[in-house]
Structure 1
Amino acid sequence: MVADMVNNDGEWDWQRLTPLLPKEKLEYIASIQPPRTNLGEYQPLWRWDEKHDFTTRSAYKIITENENLQDNVIWKKVWRLQVPQRIQVFTWLALHGRLLKNTERKRRHLTMSDRCELCGAANEDIEHVLRSCIAAKVYGGH
């Protein structure tokens, strides 16, 4: 129970939480108010519905309202491309920022450097990999 992770002073019990969770989860928890018993019984509410009830319809409505129309057009074009499926998937991953570049690898502590291994430039991000890197220009035909 979440309430079990609060000490007698009403603060997060870091002695109990620290051995259980990774650092990034602890940092997230630190940004959240601990549950307060003096506020009455906890009642979850869904803020995106008039009655505060969660429904699949209300969740779908929120998701689709927040979609950018331009993005929707781009995604449809990607999936209609007459190219091998692996190219569609690669394009989809690139547009979603899901390609694992050295900047992301370094953030995840999977590598010590965020430099491009091909040209040595700092901050190997998606823009660099696909456009800025000398290797992308040479092998990409630009």
Structure 2
Amino acid sequence: MAEGLAGNSWAHDIQGVLGLHEIGQYLMIWQTVNRTILSNEPDQLLWRWTANGIYSAQSCYAATFHGSTRCTSWKLIWKSWAPSRVKFFHWLANQDCCWMAERLARCGLQHHPRCLLCDQATETLQHLLLTCPFARQTWYAILAWLRMPTRPPDQEPTVMARWLRANKHTPMTRRKALRSIALLVPWMIWKHKNECVFDNETPSIDLLVDRIKDEARCWANAGAQGLGVVLPLPGMC
């Protein structure tokens, strides 16, 4: 290194035609080299991700997240009790990667001009899961069945925003159940919509609500303890 710094001889090894990108890198290196002061002390390796310059596995792991963005919905999706396929669906929905009519239209693919469940508006993910009259009636029926002290969706932009709002008005003893319901209801609405598309099934709120109730009981039996607390006793509506 000392030989390369002497008289800036390191620059003599640069060959070939330089573009704007290469010239920019050259200037950055030049500025860094000019600030370098050599001494007779032996070289040391310093780890930039710790205050003392010493490497640690913990700091290396933290460095892998440098510059990353935080997903605010991770707790609802990955920390709630739900089957893996349901969590994966919500992860895709959070990334706006579900194939809705709006997205199909952007890609020039065949799609229905309006929501199949209400026939009133363009089918977007937010409309289908939250603001569609069909979806709102479904939410109302399930929340009433579970005696959850929260209102149906009301113009929230995402399922995550809906959950955060409802979570504030839900007692601690029922919040686990709320998290599972926040995943279950959109999943079942999504499935019902696909059945209408691919199996020519007729949209039915009563049918969907019954299916959600059956699925909620299955989740509770499979380990969703929060749902087990709020489910009505057998024989009750």
TM-score, normalised via structure 1 length:
0.49
Pick the structure with more helix per residue. 2
The structure showing larger relative contact order (alpha-carbon pairs under 8 Å, at least 6 residues apart) is: 2
The structure whose Rg is larger is 2
